[in-house]
Amino acid sequence: MIREPFPEPFLTTDGIHNLRDYGGYEGADGAHVRKGLLYRSGQHIEASEADLDLVQSLDIRTIVDFRGLSERTSFPCARHSDFSAEVIAFEGETTSSPPHEGGLDKTDMTAEKGRQRMISVYTRMPVNPAMIDMFKRYFQSLETRGGGNLIHCFAGKDRTGVGASLLLHVLGVHYDDILTEFMLTNDAPTQHILERQSLPRMEAHYGEIEPEAIRNLIGVREEYIGTYWQEVTRDHGSIDNYLAQTLGVDEQRKARLRDRLLA
């Protein structure tokens, strides 16, 4: 079977949703984020042999899995027979209410309720101790480990999207480009994979879900990442203060990351 190539920056896959290189953007001092080092995706439970060969070919030496323990147990990632990357994960739960799971409220899932649910995810994330820990470990891995780095969660859009956005900010990428990269998730040619993995679980909880509600739950909106930025700025004065005070990415670490990841 010949796999038709996906449009850049997406990598062509059979069973991995939203796998893409998030490098290439202009960063500090006119330099550009290196390509071929930074990757993001959804989970790899349905990865085909060709997908595993592809991931293996990328020289990914570190995988940062933002999923919690229950997600990793229910959806174990497939691995190449020669897989040797270090996997960084949290020994506990990283979210109390992932979009792909039913929440406490079993009322009809309307578009507005889906939107509000996602806004609450991004409102809580800046103060979530598990995600603070994982973002710290993510930045540490980028500074101390060679080769490629892949970040992912269940859908590769919320926890993963924030992680990628924070790194791009550290590298001096303009917010407009950070937003463009974040919104690329809606253009992923693999939406059917995410729907197959997430919709049955959501429908078992809510019943029939409005199409716009589905888009709000399994896609992204500009206001999602905007909410995260707003919450951090309100509480810390700026994203840079949050990075330094909460995640340990001060000016010295920022310089070291730019030396490694900009060209």
> 100 lies in a domain?
no
> 43 lies in a domain?
yes
Query: In this predicted structure, what is the pLDDT of residue 215?
Result: 95
> 2 lies in a domain?
no
Domain membership of residue 129 as a residue range: 20-95+107-261
Q: What is the number of domains present in the chain?
A: 1
> 84 lies in a domain?
yes
Indicate the pTM of the whole model.
0.96
SS3 labels along the chain: CCCCCCCCCECCCCCCCCCEECCCCECHHHCEECCCCEEEECCCCCCCHHHHHHHHHCCEEEEEECCCHHHHHHCCCCCCCCCCCEEEECCCCCCCCCCCCCCCCCCCCCHHHHHHHHHHHHHHHHHCHHHHHHHHHHHHHHHHCCCEEEEECCCCCCHHHHHHHHHHHHCCCCHHHHHHHHHHHHHCCCHHHHHHHHHHHHHHHHCCCCHHHHHHHHCCCHHHHHHHHHHHHHHHCCHHHHHHHCCCCCHHHHHHHHHHHEC
Residues tagged active-site: 153
> 9 lies in a domain?
no
Query: In this predicted structure, what is the pLDDT of residue 208?
Result: 85
> 4 lies in a domain?
no
> 7 lies in a domain?
no
Low-confidence ranges of the chain (pLDDT < 70): 1, 97-107
Residue 223 is part of a domain; what is its CATH number? 3.90.190.10
Query: In this predicted structure, what is the pLDDT of residue 123?
Result: 97
Query: In this predicted structure, what is the pLDDT of residue 109?
Result: 87
